[in-house]
Structure 1
Amino acid sequence: MSIQYLIVVRKFDSPSYTLQTFVPPSTRDAYLSIRALNIELARIPDVVSNPTVGALRMQFWRDNLNRTFAKTPPKEPVAILLHHALTSLQSRYEGITTSVMKGWFMKVINTREQYMDNRPYANLEAVEMYAENTYSTLMYLTLAALPLNSMAVDHVASHIGKATGIAAVLRGLPLIAFPPPPNHHSNNAAFGGALGGNAGSRQGAVVLPLDIMAEAGVKEEEVLRHGADAPGLKDAIFKVATRANDHLITAREMLKNLQAGRDAGHEFEHQGEEGHLYHDSSEDTQANDLERGFGILMQAVPTRLWLEKLEKVDFDVFRPELRAREWKLPYKAYWAYTRRTI
């Protein structure tokens, strides 16, 4: 992979950089290109001057992907790496189609663009849908690059992605409420002095679900004025974090059931949608699929560690340690992987 994008993934998404160890080597280029593209999309609001420029940048990535899937990639590192990964996949599995992957990429771009202006989520279900269309879809893309078409694994990945996406919304809340100077955003950076209640030069916003804010009595102007001390904020954070944790618990229970040869416990809500058409599989096949795709499911581990840390600081999402790199992740991930648990 381009050294440039290894550095980008390590800087802006260090958990994914660490977890590449558990992704099969033949799929690693695809995995890293998917994660690098996600970073590029996520950073667009931070590096553009207005929404019009942001929309143009999103279209730039759509055009790049269209050319890449047409086997004429532009001279852009992510596109070149993705093209290499797709070519490798097609050479290893003759006749395999990648059209589903293209559709998933477009879904991620469209969803990122929809929320590029930091509009609030109408309700908690809208946050879940955002997470499904971004973080869950990133996992579907990586599973497709294995390649692995398995309802059981996709179902577990859906819940993990929802948990990860909801946690990402919470983790990003302080930086959106009190934006740092442009181009300084990093998933691993400390908050700095911007979180003490002084907004920077850009307009801040609170992107918690409106129904949760109303229920907890949270007012945006109070958050922008008082930060972590805003009335009801911790209660709202707790409610949203609980939903993320519920998805992790569900994924963990499903994994145990499927590994033991039992039913997942509930239907996959996205079965039958584009990209989620499956062949019938036996219990043995499901267990084998989980084994093949388990490395991709490891995204649950950093999400769990972050939610545990959030609970320890009493759901004060403004605490600087919540933005620090998780030094426990390498050995916690290794422990989870060797025991096939999340």
Structure 2
Amino acid sequence: MRFAMASSINIKIGLLTTKIFLHIKIPYPIFIQRPTEIKCSRALTTGQHNEQYCIDIVRKRDYEGFLCSLLFPEAVRRSALALRAFNVELAQIKDSVSQKTIGLMRLQFWKSAVEDIYRDDHPAQPISAELWRAVRKHTLTRRWMLRIISEREKDMEDKAYRNLQELEAYGENTQSSLLYLLLETLGELWYHQAHFSIYQQRVTDNAFSLFLTQHGASQEDFIRGSRDLNVRDVVYDIASQAHVHLQNARSFSKNVPHAAMPAFLQTVVLEDYLRRVRKVDFDVFHPSLQKRYPMLPLQLYVRSWKKIY
């Protein structure tokens, strides 16, 4: 959205910049401690470290999700960042291990960590500790966390999706499960209205396999960054389906309570990416798509301010 007056744009950019670069780093107050207060102080320091750990990993690995989280109400922002850090940690396992067995072991660690959290066993790992805090504060549903882990376990098999329904199920079990958890932090429990999948901006080669044979393309084409027409046709098919989900998500936007709006800001990120992909004729390897869109923070802020997505 553009404004007629440059001054108005500058004001809103300034406000958003303040939220992004200053608000999360507000210095904690310093007190003169009595000996009996040292133990509590150390616990507080650990909590601050865990929070910053989640902030850093989301800002580095999921920048768009980081921006969306900053626009959550202050009371739930820390929990939202913990959930996104959890999601990022799971998502990067497949690409960060050399053997499937190692990846499955790491996923098993997270499955055990979630079970420990719901047994009220305070964990030491930073993300787990922040999740423990979020679960205590918002009574988050264990099923959604375990469903994300289970879907990541299936993805470790590296099998091609046989049909579009399997690809959509992957999005439902990962991205929609995260959405449900974010809605719970906001106090919203109307899952029947929130039922839609958000396609990730960077889909793995495996996710493209469903469409490859239809257009005479191969996984090697994507590995080497081919910009041929048949490769762009594959991207077009997936982008078109993502657009359908986006339109479906927005079809009930008037019925979404204002309190739940922050959870749906991710649709703004998807809309922006689809627009930019369409602009370069569905060439996902175009240099412009490898850069962050500088107007995205402003777009997110305006949608958040107007309570729309």
- Give the TM-score, by structure 2 length: 0.78
Task: Choose the corresponding residue for 1:134, options 163, 170, 174.
Answer: 174
**Structure 2 match to 1:249:** 247
1:189-338 equivalent positions in 2, closer than 5 A: 205-210=205-210, 212-224=211-223, 227-230=225-228, 232-256=230-254, 258=255, 290-338=257-305
Moved more, 321-330 or 124-133: 321-330
Q: CA deviation at 1:221?
A: 4.3
In structure 2, relative to structure 1, the CA distance for the partners of 1:20 and 1:230 (3 Å cut) is same
**Structure 2 match to 1:87:** 136
- Tell me which amino acid in the other structure corresponds to 2:297: P
In structure 2, relative to structure 1, the CA distance for the partners of 1:319 and 1:117 (3 Å cut) is farther
Alignment partners' CA distance in 2, 1:294 and 1:167: 20
Give the ranges of 4+ consecutive aligned residues of structure 1 lying more than 6 Å apart after TM superposition.
none
In structure 2, relative to structure 1, the CA distance for the partners of 1:146 and 1:108 (3 Å cut) is same
Q: CA deviation at 1:233?
A: 1.1
Tell me if the contact between 1:234 and 1:314 (Cα under 8 Å) persists in the aligned partners: yes
Q: CA deviation at 1:246?
A: 1.0
Larger of the two Rg values belongs to structure: 2
SS in 2 for 1:140: helix
- Tell me which amino acid in the other structure corresponds to 2:217: V
Task: Choose the corresponding residue for 2:195, options 135, 140, 158.
Answer: 158
Q: CA deviation at 1:222?
A: 4.5
Tell me if the contact between 2:209 and 2:219 (Cα under 8 Å) persists in the aligned partners: no
Task: Choose the corresponding residue for 2:162, options 108, 112, 122.
Answer: 122
Structure 1 unmatched runs, 5+: 90-96, 174-204, 259-286
Q: CA deviation at 1:231?
A: 5.2
**Structure 1 match to 2:77:** 28
Tell me if the contact between 1:64 and 1:73 (Cα under 8 Å) persists in the aligned partners: no
Could you list the per-position Cα deviations for residues 250-276 of structure 1 after superposition, in whole angstroms to 9, with x for gaps in the alignment? 2222214x3xxxxxxxxxxxxxxxxxx
Matched, 1:37 2:91: no
- Tell me which amino acid in the other structure corresponds to 2:208: L
Tell me if the contact between 1:223 and 1:230 (Cα under 8 Å) persists in the aligned partners: no
Task: Choose the corresponding residue for 1:5, options 54, 59, 66.
Answer: 54
SS in 2 for 1:2: helix
Alignment partners' CA distance in 2, 1:317 and 1:39: 22
SS in 2 for 1:158: coil
Q: CA deviation at 1:26?
A: 2.2
| Larger RCO of the pair (alpha carbons < 8 Å, separation 6+) | 1
- Tell me which amino acid in the other structure corresponds to 1:148: E
Alignment partners' CA distance in 1, 2:190 and 2:114: 25
Q: CA deviation at 1:338?
A: 2.4
Tell me if the contact between 2:53 and 2:127 (Cα under 8 Å) persists in the aligned partners: no
Alignment partners' CA distance in 2, 1:148 and 1:114: 29
Alignment partners' CA distance in 1, 2:52 and 2:220: 43
Q: CA deviation at 1:131?
A: 0.5
Tell me if the contact between 1:252 and 1:341 (Cα under 8 Å) persists in the aligned partners: no
Identity %, equivalent residues: 30
Alignment partners' CA distance in 1, 2:284 and 2:113: 36
Aligned length: 260
**Structure 1 match to 2:98:** 49
Alignment partners' CA distance in 1, 2:135 and 2:200: 30
Could you list the per-position Cα deviations for residues 75-134 of structure 1 after superposition, in whole angstroms to 9, with x for gaps in the alignment? 110111111222233xxxxxxx54xx1111000001011112443221222111100100
- Tell me which amino acid in the other structure corresponds to 2:58: V
Alignment partners' CA distance in 2, 1:107 and 1:25: 27
Q: CA deviation at 1:230?
A: 4.3
Alignment partners' CA distance in 1, 2:96 and 2:221: 27
Alignment partners' CA distance in 2, 1:254 and 1:339: 16
In structure 2, relative to structure 1, the CA distance for the partners of 1:320 and 1:113 (3 Å cut) is farther
Tell me if the contact between 2:107 and 2:149 (Cα under 8 Å) persists in the aligned partners: yes
- Tell me which amino acid in the other structure corresponds to 2:69: Q
Alignment partners' CA distance in 2, 1:229 and 1:324: 18
Alignment partners' CA distance in 2, 1:222 and 1:79: 38
Structural RMSD (CA): 1.9
